[in-house]
Amino acid sequence: MAKAQGQKLLSIHITARVTMAVLRETNLACPFFVPLEIVNDGSWPHPSRLPLGAGWTGNCRASGQEVAASDTHIREFCNLGYANACPRLPRLRDWDAIRFSIAHVRREQVAICFVCELAHAPIEHGKLTFDLASEVWLDAHPDPRVLRLATCYLQTYRTRRSAVLI
């Protein structure tokens, strides 16, 4: 992975054989974001580089209640995580952002690695496996925020894969 001078690389060990090497400055999905629909209007210059693999419309749950967010708010904060300037971000929180990557794809399953971060440090990590035949998570995360964002990441991944196959 090429990195710009001055950027710090962070290695996160997922399993004994899987390590995610990431740049600390990378944008990540906000754990309070409730994505509703993929944005395919060309307004994102490189949508596949976004934390969830695409831009999404959605709502915010930072207050504990799901509320509508403006398009500007969604573009500048919700889709990107580490939104320290976000006026809705709770002062006390479990995580600042959640990072996802595809661990492996098998004929009937997709495994996704996730890392929950606070102040740019990993707090929790793991792997979620989705069964393509039954359309269910085999090892669902107990926190609905992680599962909701992982589902969106998976949806974007599957949409891109089906577009390539056509």
**What is the residue extent of each domain of the chain?**
9-165
Q: Give the residue among 129, 111, 44 at the shortest CA–CA distance from 80.
A: 44
Mean pLDDT, residues 35-61 taken together = 88
At residue 41, the pLDDT reads 83
This model's pTM is above 0.85: no
**Do 133 and 147 meet the contact criterion of CB atoms below 8 Å apart?**
no
With 0-12 CB in 10 A as exposed, 13-18 as middle and 19+ as buried, what is 158? middle
Supply the DSSP string of 11-79, one letter for each residue: EEE-SSS-EEEEETT---B-TTEEEEEEE-SS-SSSGGGSTTSSEEEEEE-TTSS-EE--HHHIIIIIT
At residue 22, the pLDDT reads 44
Mean pLDDT of the chain: 82
**Do 35 and 120 meet the contact criterion of CB atoms below 8 Å apart?**
no
Mean pLDDT, residues 124-151 taken together = 94
pLDDT tops 70 at residue 5:
no
pLDDT tops 70 at residue 150:
yes
DSSP structure class, residue 7? P
At residue 119, the pLDDT reads 86
pLDDT tops 90 at residue 143:
yes
The whole-angstrom separation of Cα 18 and Cα 38 is 29
Mean pLDDT, residues 18-44 taken together = 71
Structure tokens, 42: 């060309």
pLDDT digits 0-9 by tens, 55-113: 999 999 988 899 999 998 888 888 887 767 788 888 888 988 898 999 999 999 999 99
User: Rounded to whole angstroms, what are the CA distances from 72 to 48, 86, 153?
Assistant: 19, 11, 21
pLDDT digits 0-9 by tens, 9-21: 445 555 555 555 4
